[in-house]
Amino acid sequence: MDHHDRHTAGFKERTRLAEARETLLAAVTPHERTERLPLADADGRALAEPAVAPADVPSYDRAAMDGFAVRASDTFGASGRSPNVLRVVEETVAPGEAARVHTGSDLPEGADAVVMVEHTDRFGDELEVFDALAEGENVGERGEDVREGDALFDVGHELRPSDLGLLRSVGVDSVSVFERPRVAVVPTGEELVESDPGPGQVIETNGLTVSRLVERWGGEASYRDIVVDDADLLREAVESDLDHDVIVTTGGSSVGERDLIPEVISEIGEVLVHGVALKPGHPVALGVVEDTPVVMLPGYPVACVVNAFQFLRPVLKHVGSLPTRPFPTVEATLTRKIPSSAGTRTFARVRLDESGDDPTAEPTRTSGSGILSSVALADGWVQVPEEKEGYEEGETVSVEGWEWSV
């Protein structure tokens, strides 16, 4: 195929975004590798087995207030004008007795209620009680927080700091979690250099950005050296990383003379999708080699980031059995028009101004997928769905925040 044919044959049929993502996920199976971790190391990890409470919490009846533990029947009829008088003891509470307790302390044997200290007056060993209590009043019962055998979290639950506290409170000290999905990040391109670019050269940024996104999304990134546009070298790079759960390449996914990676993948595996109806970044390609998904991101930095969010993030979460949560959104008024083409999903970068009563969203740039600052300086994006030809100035739109901006 000559240079002209490559371009004209490139993307006559672009797959819709949702269909492309579903096609990729349907071709991938979650890994089943697990490891046991101490609670302190399990933040953000997905449970590989249900978490069940091995004991009641609390494991005893406890005082829910500072005051005196009593038998409720000994307070019947007590009032501000006519207190009941009890004898103060140290531990076991017999009829006519009370014992000093503090919030959270064990309820003494024999007691079934706690009278608040402000509803009493103490004179040596005598206690005047001015409040009539019901049985169980101001008492935290055994198992009030968690019952032994309660299912606390299901398989796939992503553990948060408060979850770890709850698990420790019930006596769990370690958990079985899925291993973090392993992702090989392979930057490609003849023009890329690590530093000091000369004429026609570009500093490699996509691999750095994508590998850090992988870590934020719960994966473990292997950030590879730059691979030049050579079919044999690209094939070797992909084949050497097939032990990873996901391979992601950056650059070389279009239909130019040097955009070889989809051809390489089609020779050693299968290209599921090449060309998606989204902007920026329609040249993205998705494939599978020996059951390992390969996400081929475009080389333009903005297109690379947008496609990483739309394809790499969900496949990484799927492979690692991690939940894919929706992005945080803010309703805002557009300060300028956002153009879009019917049939294409457009991602417009915007800056949010939430200083007033009504948030506003200002597009940073609606075209130019090579302008990385338009992502770095934006707070999120507005998605224009395929059936709309843009949004007008003054319309209310939903701004999806980057995960690092919240």
Give the per-residue pLDDT at 251: 86
β-strand 126-129 against 84-89: which pairing, if any? antiparallel
Give the per-residue pLDDT at 8: 37
pLDDT in tens, 77-96: 999 899 999 999 998 999 99
CATH numbers and ranges of domains, the chain: 1-31+178-318 (3.40.980.10), 33-55+151-176 (3.90.105.10), 60-138 (2.170.190.11), 328-398 (2.40.340.10)
The Cα 192–Cα 360 span in angstroms is 38
Backbone φ, ψ for residue 262 (5° rounding) = -60, -35
- Tell me which long-range contacts 387-392 makes (C-beta under 8 A, separation of at least 24): 387/342, 388/340, 388/342, 389/339, 389/340, 389/341, 389/342, 390/337, 390/338, 390/339, 390/340, 390/346, 391/334, 391/337, 391/338, 391/340, 392/334, 392/337
Please, are residues 349 and 363 in contact by the beta-carbon 8 Å criterion?
yes
Question: Does the pLDDT at position 3 exceed 50?
Answer: no
Give the per-residue pLDDT at 405: 43
Higher pLDDT, 375 or 74: 74
Give the per-residue pLDDT at 241: 97
CA-based nearest residue to 252, from 279, 218, 226:
226
Residue at token pair 């690209």? 234
Please, are residues 244 and 320 in contact by the beta-carbon 8 Å criterion?
no
Least confident of 150-154, 180-184, 310-314: 150-154
Collapsed DSSP state (helix, strand, coil) of residue 212:
helix
CA-based nearest residue to 323, from 159, 152, 151:
159
Q: What is the mean pLDDT of residues 309-338?
A: 94
The Cα 300–Cα 95 span in angstroms is 81
What pTM does this model have? 0.79
Q: What is the DSSP letter of 137?
A: T
The two tokens of residue 94 are 């017999």
Q: How far apart, in Å, are the Cα atoms of 129 and each of 94, 96, 315?
A: 16, 11, 65
Q: What is the pLDDT confidence band of residue 148, given thresholds at 50, 70 and 90?
A: confident
pLDDT in tens, 339-391: 999 999 999 999 999 888 899 999 986 555 455 666 777 889 999 999 999 99
Give every CB contact of residue 396 below 8 A, 6+ residues apart in sequence: 331, 332, 333, 334
Amino acid at site 178: F
Q: What is the mean pLDDT of residues 277-294?
A: 95
pLDDT in tens, 87-142: 999 989 999 999 999 999 999 999 999 999 999 999 999 999 999 999 999 999 88
The Cα 394–Cα 194 span in angstroms is 43
Please, are residues 301 and 375 in contact by the beta-carbon 8 Å criterion?
yes
Give the per-residue pLDDT at 237: 97
Collapsed DSSP state (helix, strand, coil) of residue 233:
helix
Tell me how far the alpha carbon of residue 325 is from its chain's centroid. 6
Q: What is the pLDDT confidence band of residue 6, given thresholds at 50, 70 and 90?
A: very low
Peptide bond into 262 cis (omega under 30): no
Give the per-residue pLDDT at 383: 95
How much of the chain, in percent, has pLDDT values that exceed 70?
92
Higher pLDDT, 56 or 79: 79
Q: What is the mean pLDDT of residues 210-233?
A: 94
How much of the chain, in percent, has pLDDT values that exceed 90?
72
Question: Does the pLDDT at position 2 exceed 50?
Answer: no
**CA-based torsion, 89, 93, 96, 98: positive or negative:** positive
Give the per-residue pLDDT at 257: 58
The Cα 88–Cα 359 span in angstroms is 62
Average pLDDT value over all residues in the chain:
89
Give the per-residue pLDDT at 150: 84
Least confident of 82-86, 190-194, 309-313: 190-194
Backbone φ, ψ for residue 16 (5° rounding) = -70, 150
Helix axes 261-268, 231-240, angle to 10 degrees: 60
What burial class does residue 1 get, using C-beta atoms within 10 Å of its C-beta: 0-12 exposed, 13-18 middle, 19+ buried?
exposed
Give the per-residue pLDDT at 7: 39
Q: What is the pLDDT confidence band of residue 4, given thresholds at 50, 70 and 90?
A: very low
CA-based nearest residue to 15, from 203, 283, 389, 315:
283
Peptide bond into 50 cis (omega under 30): no
The two counts, helices (H) then strands (E), for the chain are 9, 26
Higher pLDDT, 254 or 173: 173
**CA-based torsion, 334, 337, 341, 342: positive or negative:** positive
Q: What is the mean pLDDT of residues 71-79?
A: 95
Question: Does the pLDDT at position 308 exceed 80?
Answer: yes
